[in-house]
Amino acid sequence: MLTRRTSLTFFLGGLGLAAGVAGLVPTARAQQATDQAADFVDKTGKELVAVVNSTGSAQEKAAAATQIIDRAVDVDGVGRFCLGRFWRAATPEQQRQYLELFHRVLQVSITSKMGDYQGVNFIMGRALPRDSEVVAVSTTVLRPGNPPAKVEWLVSMASASPKVVDVMAEGTSLRLTQRDDYVSYLSRNNNRIQALIDAMRRQSNQAS
Amino acid sequence: MPRFPRSLLLLAAFQLATLLVAGCATTPPASDADAVADFKATNDPLEPTNRVFYAVNNGLDTVLLRPLAVAYKSGVPEVVRTHVHNVLDNLSTPVAVADDILQTKPRRAGDSLMRLLINSTIGVAGIFDVATDWGWPEHSTDFGMTLALWGVPDGPFLFLPVLGPSDPRDAAGFGVDVAMDPLTWVGQGTIVDALGYARLGVSAVDARAAALDDLDKIKAQALDPYATFRSLYRQHRDSQIEDARSDNRATLPVWFPAR
């Protein structure tokens, strides 16, 4: 007989079951995101290692590496982060110039190290979710002539394709360090964004 | 009393004197709330003095320490350099055991103690790092980390001559570590003094050679190397302290019946 109590029990039980299943689904999705991030780092890392260790001129290697980096890293996002509180103070034209120079400075900084990285390799570690969108993938990078370094890659799964948003080398965040550098430079130059843009232009011209 | 701690007092006096000359950093105007928040977060009120010391250090590094490190790295084979590093590590293990105990981290203390015992005996006075392969990995620790785990805040950023980036907590910790080191007090005479200075010199060159590529890259690419080093120092320190704090491995053996 379907009393009110029985139907209430069934209803609550059904609700509990639904909640339990709903609780499982984000976990399954989170696990999938974590695995995707780990695979992404593994694949991109292997591509980069292949480029660095390949035989070819420094220019060719640099061009190939830059392509991989542009695809894998959210360079615009990192650039915006690195300007810190000055992003809002910059005009759209300054923002555009800054991002363009940020791309170039990143290219220069990577390509200048291409020679040093000959013989580099890496070992995959664990992948753990940092928050709802970001997964931290640990690796150990083996550079010849240097002790092995623990490098963590923070991968954002927010958009359709995974993008690296930060690199933590031995616990130090690269984008945080870069931001501290730029913000300090700006505060010592009367908060003029043009001064930063000029300095970055000098830097990118220096090496090319 | 060995000459070593006296030179630390001289350093402290020199720093104080320069502070009176160079002065403190200027706070940004209260109207710019973001700038004030940034200034407080950076916590570097002695920035002008620190920058002077950074310039001094940088000069000494360019003229003296870096050339030595380059010569060391290119002239000495990697195997020998690794062995030298292992010996230096082993010499500082007694202090590490004491610091781990003071931090109430029994597993880390156990690791350090086993490393001391195994590497000193089977590893032939520390030359061979046998302990890592046998399951006792290396970790670095110092009294500055002990103070941090006891809850002492780090305080304003200090760039010390010779010692480099630091803060009051870590500078005090360095002093305590030197005082706790049995090798500071053992023996007396010219040979012991000479060995002490030799250890200091080789440690400096060894550390500088290990960081050669990274520091060159930072100095070449940073717009403000001083700020970059300040940021890196703080982040690295926080990460070390967090590693120590979160190392809560169980102290019961596997076979012990858990309640």
pLDDT tens digits in sequence order for chain B, 259 residues long = 444 466 666 656 665 665 555 677 888 888 888 888 888 889 999 999 999 999 999 999 999 999 999 999 999 999 999 999 999 999 999 999 999 999 999 999 999 999 999 999 999 999 999 999 999 999 999 999 999 999 999 999 999 988 899 999 999 999 999 999 998 888 888 999 899 999 999 999 999 998 888 898 889 889 999 999 999 999 999 999 999 999 988 888 778 887 6
Asked whether the beta carbons of residue A171 and residue B28 sit closer than 8 angstroms, the reply is no
Interface test with B, best of A177, A189, A190 (most B CBs within 10 A): A177
With contacts defined as CB-CB under 8 Å, which chain A residues touch B213? 116, 143, 145-146
Task: Kindly determine whether residue B235 and residue A147, on different chains, have CB atoms separated by under 8 Å.
Answer: no
Query: Residue A172 has what pLDDT?
Result: 93
Which residues in chain B have their CB less than 8 angstroms from residue A145's CB? 73, 78, 213
Q: What are phi and psi of B141, to 5 degrees?
A: -155, 155
Q: Which of B109, B111, B92, B90 is nearest to B100 (CA)?
A: B109
For the CA atoms of B140, B141, B144, B149, the dihedral, rounded to the nearest 10 degrees, stands at 120
Q: Do B235 and A171 touch (CB under 8 A)?
A: yes
Tokens of B92: 């500082």
Look at residue A71 and tell me whether its pLDDT is greater than 50. yes
Locus of tokens 């200048």: A112
In terms of CA atoms, which chain A residue is nearest residue B82? A147
Of the partner residues A170, A183, A185, the one whose CB lies closest to the CB of residue B236: A170
Q: Measuring CA to CA, how many Å separate B123 from each of A148, B93, B98, B183? A: 22, 14, 21, 19
Q: pLDDT at position B1, please?
A: 45
A115 lies within 8 A of chain B by CB: no
